[in-house]
Amino acid sequence: MAKIIDGKQTAADIRREIAEEVETIKAKAGRAPGLAVILVGDDPASQVYVRNKAKDCEETGIYSVVERLPAETTEEELIALVKKLNGDELIDGIIVQLPLPKHLNSEVIINNIAVDKDVDAFHPYNVGKIMIGDYNMLPCTPAGVMELLSRYGVEVSGKNCVVVGRSNIVGKPQAMLLLHKNGTVTVCHSRTKELAEVTKKADILVVAVGKAKMITGDMIKEGSVVIDVGMNRDADGKLCGDCDFDSCEKKASLITPVPGGVGPMTRVMLLKNTLSAAKRKLNI
């Protein structure tokens, strides 16, 4: 039976560490790190995410601003707000909560965020920096995965690492981060033939496809580390990941649960990015 990787507890530990650093920054700079979240429209899931982010900021002492805009906001109005926050000396990080209403081009909006305040690391400049291994910002979910591997003592160097999923937000940057740690990385996707034959060779398996219980125990290697990034609902409406937890747990050495695995880490890495952005700006 696998040992459970507790993302919830790990995230709580990191929040305490961040809170201590925030107090140091306040003592030296006279202000806390600042995060601005822009929410356009009334998507229920986005409302929950934004509330949670504000709660995390309050817990760690980070100054938080939530800019709520109506769904009919124009691209020009949204860009104007982004540029205003770019120039705000109290704001170190800016995120635009996705998805945006359909009439807004998220790529255009993200490209207007100042690269040193892009704490989601979605701007093409920051994506390019990740590619060459000279980065200041990391996408929060892949960064959270790497933090979990590190804190649970998983050595990446020399390991066969398989990433299932090739999204710009998780799959691609996840592969690059594992590569930077000297893992031997294979990226699988919807066109991969004989997927199980590839996943069975993985010492470290990261699954981020958004398909409930797609990876089963017979598709993984005995003693492997299984990181499940998925967040789905099964036929009974219960939250589940991209891996069939019950069968994978029997063969893995370490495994993340859903919920309580990668999800809490994604949230806390946003705070960590904001903290890092503030430290760079204030030369601390």
The residue to which tokens 């592969």 are assigned: 175
> At 174, phi and psi to the nearest 5?
-60, -45
Of 265, 251, 262, 227, give the one whose Cα is nearest residue 1. 251
Catalytic residue among 6, 56, 97, 159: 97
CB within 8 Å of 112: residues ≥ 6 apart: 79, 82, 83, 86
The residue to which tokens 């925030």 are assigned: 22
What is the CB neighbour count within 10 angstroms for residue 23?
Answer: 13
Residue 94 pairs in a beta bridge with 36, 118
Strand runs labelled E in the chain: 3-4, 34-40, 63-69, 93-96, 160-164, 184-188, 204-207, 225-228, 232-233, 239-240, 254-255
The verdict on whether 13 is a catalytic residue reads: no
Of 143, 120, 116, 147, give the one whose Cα is nearest residue 279. 116
What is the maximal distance between C-alpha atoms in the chain?
57
The verdict on whether 53 is a catalytic residue reads: yes
CB within 8 Å of 53: residues ≥ 6 apart: 35, 37, 64, 95, 267, 270
Catalytic residue among 6, 92, 120, 203: 120
Helix pair angle (262-282, 140-151), 10° resolution: 100
Q: Which amino acid is at 154?
A: V
Dist. CA 172–CA 182, nearest whole Å = 16
Catalytic residues: 53, 97, 120
